[in-house]
Amino acid sequence: MQKGNIELKVGLKGHCSESYIQEIKGLTGSNLLRSCLLFLALTLLALSISNLWAIYVPSRTLFDRLLHSAVSSALTFGIVPFVFTYLQIDKGCRKDFLGLKPINIPSLSFLIKLIVASLVGFGLIALTSYASNILIEHWSGTWGDYLRALQKQAESIAFFIKQPTTLSLSIFRILVISLLTGFVEELYMRGTLQPLLIRLTKSSHWGIVLTAIIFALLHLSPAHLLPIFIYGLIFGYWRHYTGSLYPGIILHVSNNLLTLLLP
């Protein structure tokens, strides 16, 4: 197996190779492109169904908004990866492809390097978050107005979701925003999209970077674009170097929980 590139291999009789990135049934050239288009088509279908829900079942209360968020997240980021892997990945390799397997750390020194790199990343997140807010606040012209309007919309949604409420609804909010969203977003982004992009670009690093860019853009929050991008890099490299999705899920869920609980 070449380092830095996806080498997708399925062993005989459904057994997988040890690499976390497994074979997508003879996936090369046009087959790879077709698989990427299938993944995109499944995503667009899920988003269309979710948008129809939003149109015909408007979210007037916090419970409505959380319920729509839960259904939308589960459908788009949860079901799509499982349907895609069912259609494209050998039965014995699906969990390995998605990263739903134990964490593999080569050595203690390597683990320390990953932790230190992550801490540096968290520091950069704090700096870029502060700098982005100042930049958007003072950006003049049409683009500045657009970014501020987009940011104001994102903040109003966050304020609505974080409003004081009953204990039962608070628990439901934590389950949806923190646990469910953190899990399914990692399943979609680092579990499915990242391996595809690594294969498509023939580069582990470019695949991780492109996944992080898409992850940041999907949040539609200009002030948090760079911080979310860095989060995406951290989650992506943990996924890549440990072969497991679980470190990214733990970090993602923890971050969502802190964001939800902190003022």
* Residue 22 pLDDT exceeds 60: no
Q: What local confidence, expressed as pLDDT, does residue 5 receive?
A: 38
* Residue 181 pLDDT exceeds 90: yes
* Residue 13 pLDDT exceeds 50: no
Task: Give 115 or 219, the one with higher predicted confidence.
Answer: 115
Q: What local confidence, expressed as pLDDT, does residue 28 receive?
A: 56
What is the value of pTM for the model shown? 0.85
Integer Cα distance of 231 and 146 in angstroms: 24
Cα separation values, 95 from 11, 15, 87, 217, Å: 15, 12, 14, 27
Q: Assign 30 a pLDDT band (cuts: 50, 70, 90).
A: low
Per the structure block, which two tokens stand in for 157?
Answer: 């949604």
Element (H, E) at 120: helix 108-138
Q: Assign 7 a pLDDT band (cuts: 50, 70, 90).
A: very low
Integer Cα distance of 195 and 20 in angstroms: 9
> Phi/psi of residue 127, each to 5°?
-65, -45
Q: What is the mean pLDDT of residues 123-148?
A: 85
Residues contacting residue 7 through CB under 8 Å, at least 6 positions apart: 1, 19, 21
Angle between helices 194-201 and 30-56 (to 10 degrees): 150
Integer Cα distance of 203 and 60 in angstroms: 45
Q: What local confidence, expressed as pLDDT, does residue 153 receive?
A: 79
DSSP 8-state secondary structure symbol assigned to residue 22: -
Task: Render pLDDT for 50-95 as a digit per residue (tens, 0 to 9).
Answer: 988 888 877 788 888 899 999 999 999 999 999 999 998 888 888 9
Integer Cα distance of 5 and 203 in angstroms: 5
Task: Give 174 or 29, the one with higher predicted confidence.
Answer: 174
Q: Assign 242 a pLDDT band (cuts: 50, 70, 90).
A: very high
Q: What local confidence, expressed as pLDDT, does residue 15 receive?
A: 40
Q: What is the mean pLDDT of residues 148-164?
A: 81
Task: Render pLDDT for 195-229 as a digit per residue (tens, 0 to 9).
Answer: 999 999 999 999 999 999 999 999 888 878 999 99
Q: What local confidence, expressed as pLDDT, does residue 33 receive?
A: 85
Integer Cα distance of 210 and 216 in angstroms: 10
Contact 62, 76 (CB under 8 A): no
Q: What local confidence, expressed as pLDDT, does residue 9 receive?
A: 34
User: For the chain, what's the residue count?
Assistant: 263
Task: Give 239 or 133, the one with higher predicted confidence.
Answer: 239
